[in-house]
Structure 1
Amino acid sequence: MKILIADSMHSSLFDMLRDQGWEYAYHPEFRREDILQAIPAYDGLVIRSKTFVDETMLLAAKNLRFVARAGAGLDLIDLDAAERLRIAVFHAGKGNRDAVAEHALGMLLALFNNILRADREVRSGVWDRERNRGVELMGKTVGIIGYGNNGSATAQRLSGFGCRVLAYDKYRDHYEDAFALESSLEEIMAEADILSLHIPLTEITRYLVNEDFIEKFSKPFYLLNLSRGEIVKLEAVVNGLKSGKILGACLDVLENEKIAKLTSEQQEVFDYLRASDKVVLTPHIAGWTHESYFRINEVLVKQIQNWL
C-alpha cells in the first residue's frame, strides 16, 4: 500500500507505517495542484489542516482507498463524495481529546480567577487582590453540546471540580454516563452557567451560536468554544458581553483565524475581544500538545490497520 502524506506530521508516524509494511511519500510542501498531480499513484492520503479534499480531488484519485485526517474535525473533507466513491475516511478524535479537555479547564480557570490580568498587573508592580477576586467552578452547571471524544473527556474533568454537567448530542442516544446527564438543548439553555461547544462545523452548526441562540438562555452564562470558529458569530458574542448576557468567553478558535487579514468588521470585533478582561484567547491549540501530536499518529494507524 502506498500512502501520500501531504502535511507536516510528527516523525513517529514514519516508523509506525514502516512497521506495518506500508510504503509512504512525505511531501508536507505539497499544495493543491501538487496533490492533484500525484494522487492517482496512491492508495491513501494523510492530511492535517491545510488541504481541502473536495470531490474534484477525490475523482482525480483513481486508486485512493482512504483519507486520514490527523485531527478531530472532518470539515476539510467532502464526506458525501467520499461515501459515493467508496473511499474510507478516518480521523483522530481520540488522539487529542485529553489535550482539548485539559485546555478547556485551563482556559476556564484562567477566566474565573482573573489569572491573565492578575499576572500582567503583578509584573507591572500592581498588587490588587480585591479586583482580582475569583469565581469558583464548584457547584456550577455546565452545558456541553456535542458528547463525543472531546465533550466526554471535558465532562470527566469538570465532574472532578464538583460541576453538574448536562450533555446534548443530536446524533447520539443513551449516552448518559457517570460524568454527564443526557439533556435537551432547552434544558441546557434553562439551567447552564457555562456552555462548552464540542461539535464539528457543518451547514447545520455554522453560526449556531448567534444573537437569537444567546438570548434563549434564561440567565447570563460563560461561553467556551474549542471546536470550530464559524460555529460562533463573534459579533453576537461581543453584543452578549456588552449586555451582560455573556459573562465571559474562552475562545480557542475564531471565525477568521488569519488575524492579519481580517475585514474591517472582523477587526472591530476582534479588537473588542482582545481588549476585554472577560475573554481568554488562544491560537487554535486546544488539541496541540506534544503528547497528542504523537498519539494522533497511533490512533490513525490503528484505525487503518483495523479497517484493512
Structure 2
Amino acid sequence: MSKEQAATPVTSLARSSSFTAFHPKVLKPFNSGEIKILLLENVNQCGIDLLAKEGFQVEVHKKALSEEVLIEKIRDAHAIGIRSKTMLTKKVLREAKKLLVIGCFCIGTNQVDLEVAAKQGIAVFNSPFSNSRSVAELVIAEIISLSRHLGDRNIELHQGMWNKVSSQCYEIRGKTLGIVGYGHIGSQLSVLAEAMGMTVYFHDVVQIMPLGTAKQVNTLYELLERSDFITLHVPETEETRYMIGEEEITRMKKGSYLINASRGKIVQIPSLIKALQSGHLLGAAIDVFPKEPASNGQNFNDEMNSWTSDLLACKNVILTPHIGGSTEEAQYMIGLEVGAALVKYISYGTSNGAVNFPEVDLRAIQATENSIRLLFCHHNVPGVLKEINEILADHNVEKQYTDSRGDIAYMMADISSVDEHDIRKIYESVSSNRANILTRIVY
C-alpha cells in the first residue's frame, strides 16, 4: 500500500451468508469516494455538507420515497439518512446488501426495524437531545397560549370577531406543571417553567436528580392529581402506549390542561375529546398523532384518524403538525450530530451512541502504511473471541475492545506491522468465521 493510498481512508467489508435471506458480499477495498450515502426527507444542509466534505457520494432527496423506489435506491447505499416518515422495515432492509449504517436525523427510531438492522450488522444512530430546547420552548408557548385561550381568540379575530374576555384566562405564575418523563426535554422544560414562576413536579420510571426545586413524585396518579398542566415527554414503548386514557384523564384536576409533544400513541384521543367536551379539561395541545400524513397538504381528516372532526370542534385546543423539533437551530444541530456519527462509524468503526448496537470505540487510528483497524460484528456466541485472537496471535495488536448487546457483539482491534498479504489473510480468516455478520477493515 503506497503512502498516497494510506492518506485516504480505505475499507474492506464482508457480510456473512449465515442468514439464508442474505447473499455473501465481499467488496474490494474502496476509498471514501466510493461510499454512497442516501439522504431523504430534507436533511439539514449542514449534515449534507459534512458528509460531502469527507468525499462520500451523497444523493439527496427532499421528500420520503415510495417503498418501491426506496428498495431500489437502498440496494447500492452504504449509508442512509432519514427523518420520521421513511419506514425502514424488514422488507426494505433485506434488500440493503451494502448498508453499513442508518442515521435517523431526529429523536425517534420507531421508523426503523432495529432488530433486523442489528442482525445485518447495520448500526443505527439518532439525535436524542439536539432538539430538546426547541420542544421545551414550544411547550412553554402552549402553556401560556392555553391559559389565555390565544388559539381561539386568534381564530375569532381572523374571522372578524372581536371577543375581549377574561373569564377562565389565567397567568401561569404560581401554577403547577407536571412533567411525565424527565429526560433531556423534560428537564429543560423544568428549568424554563420554574423561571416563569411555576411549581414543577415530575414522574419518571427511574430516580433522577431534579434541576432547581423540581420534585419527583412516586406515581403517575399523584402527578395527575397535583398538576394544573400535564405535559408528556416519554418514548413510545409497550409500557407507555396509550398510557393516558379515560381513567388517567379523570384523575387530572378539573380545569387542568394536557399537552402531548412526545409520541402520537401515548394519549387515547377519544378519551381526551370526551373530557374537553364535558369541561373536565379546559384545553389541550397536541403536536403528535397516532397516524400522521406522509406529506404536507390537505391530509389531516377523518380518513387519517376517525376522531379528527370531533377534536377540531373542541374549544381551546392547539393542534400542530409534529413541529416540536422543527426549528432551524434544532435541525442544524441534528444535522451535525448524526452526520458526525455516520462519518465516525463509516471511517473508524466508532459505534458510540448507536441505539441498536454495542457501543465500542478506540482512540484515533494512526494513519500509517502498515496498520489497520479490524471491525468485526458477530453473533454473541461462546468461543468466538478465542478463535479471532488465534487468527491475530502472530500480529501486533496494539488496542482491542469488544462489547455485546443481546445477540450481537462487536469487536474493534488496531493491528500494526502488517503488509498487504497479512491484511488479506486476516480479512479472509475473520470474515469466514462461523459467527460473522459483518467484517470490515479500515486503513
Structure 2 length-normalised TM = 0.63
Q: Secondary structure at the match of 1:57?
A: helix
Structure 1 distance, partners of 2:77, 2:292, is 32
Matched, 1:94 2:132: no
Matched, 1:183 2:221: no
Deviations 1:159-183 (A, max 9, x none): 211222222232x443422263333
> Structure 2 counterpart of 1:18, which letter?
A
Structure 2 distance, partners of 1:21, 1:175, is 44
CA drift of 1:107 comes to 1.6
Percent of counterpart pairs with the same letter? 30
> Structure 2 counterpart of 1:230, which letter?
K
Structure 1 distance, partners of 2:320, 2:157, is 22
- Residue 278 of structure 1 is matched in structure 2 by 316
CA drift of 1:261 comes to 6.5
- Residue 255 of structure 1 is matched in structure 2 by 290
Matched, 1:12 2:50: no
Cα gap change, 1:4 to 1:119, in 2 (>3 Å): closer
> Structure 1 counterpart of 2:39, which letter?
I
Structure 1 distance, partners of 2:240, 2:184, is 18
Q: Secondary structure at the match of 2:172?
A: coil
Cα gap change, 1:291 to 1:261, in 2 (>3 Å): closer
Structure 1 distance, partners of 2:331, 2:117, is 26
- Residue 126 of structure 1 is matched in structure 2 by 162
Structure 2 distance, partners of 1:151, 1:23, is 38
Structure 1 distance, partners of 2:38, 2:50, is 14
Q: Is the 1:225–1:250 Cα contact (8 Å) retained in structure 2?
A: yes
Matched, 1:155 2:190: yes
- Residue 330 of structure 2 is matched in structure 1 by 292
- Residue 417 of structure 2 is matched in structure 1 by none
Q: Is the 1:256–1:262 Cα contact (8 Å) retained in structure 2?
A: no
Cα gap change, 1:263 to 1:203, in 2 (>3 Å): farther
Gaps of 5+ in 2: 1-34, 351-443
Structure 2 distance, partners of 1:6, 1:287, is 17
> Structure 1 counterpart of 2:175, which letter?
K
Cα gap change, 1:106 to 1:236, in 2 (>3 Å): same
Cα gap change, 1:42 to 1:266, in 2 (>3 Å): closer
Pick the aligned partner of 1:25 from 39, 44, 59: 59
- Residue 424 of structure 2 is matched in structure 1 by none
CA drift of 1:60 comes to 2.1
Q: Considering only CA atoms, is the larger Rg found in Structure 1 or Structure 2?
A: 2
Structure 1 vs Structure 2 CA RMSD: 2.6
Structure 2 distance, partners of 1:260, 1:197, is 25
Q: Secondary structure at the match of 2:262?
A: coil
Q: Is the 2:277–2:314 Cα contact (8 Å) retained in structure 1?
A: no
CA drift of 1:119 comes to 3.4
- Residue 236 of structure 1 is matched in structure 2 by 271
> Structure 2 counterpart of 1:244, which letter?
G
Q: Is the 2:89–2:113 Cα contact (8 Å) retained in structure 1?
A: yes
Pick the aligned partner of 1:203 from 215, 224, 238: 238
**Structure with greater helix percent:** 1
Structure 2 distance, partners of 1:100, 1:242, is 27
Cα gap change, 1:175 to 1:300, in 2 (>3 Å): farther
Structure 1 length-normalised TM = 0.87
CA drift of 1:257 comes to 3.1
Structure 1 distance, partners of 2:99, 2:182, is 31
Deviations 1:114-169 (A, max 9, x none): 223333445525252434x6212112221212222222222221121122222223
Cα gap change, 1:254 to 1:26, in 2 (>3 Å): same
Cα gap change, 1:187 to 1:232, in 2 (>3 Å): same
Q: Secondary structure at the match of 1:280?
A: strand
Gaps of 5+ in 1: none
Deviations 1:207-235 (A, max 9, x none): 22111222233655210011222221111
Cα gap change, 1:26 to 1:164, in 2 (>3 Å): same
Q: Secondary structure at the match of 1:186?
A: helix
Q: Is the 1:155–1:179 Cα contact (8 Å) retained in structure 2?
A: no
> Structure 1 counterpart of 2:324, which letter?
A
> Structure 2 counterpart of 1:279, which letter?
V
> Structure 1 counterpart of 2:262, which letter?
S
- Residue 435 of structure 2 is matched in structure 1 by none
Q: Is the 1:210–1:232 Cα contact (8 Å) retained in structure 2?
A: yes
CA drift of 1:44 comes to 1.4
> Structure 1 counterpart of 2:37, which letter?
I
Cα gap change, 1:142 to 1:130, in 2 (>3 Å): closer
> Structure 1 counterpart of 2:172, which letter?
L
**Structure with greater strand percent:** 2
Matched, 1:138 2:173: yes
Structure 2 distance, partners of 1:120, 1:274, is 12
Structure 2 distance, partners of 1:16, 1:306, is 12
Q: Secondary structure at the match of 1:139?
A: coil
Give runs of aligned pairs for residues 34-73 of structure 1, distance below 5 A: 34-73=69-108
Q: Is the 1:156–1:179 Cα contact (8 Å) retained in structure 2?
A: no
Q: Secondary structure at the match of 1:64?
A: coil
CA drift of 1:76 comes to 0.7
Structure 2 distance, partners of 1:81, 1:61, is 11
How many equivalent pairs are there?
305
Q: Secondary structure at the match of 1:232?
A: coil
> Structure 1 counterpart of 2:341, which letter?
Q
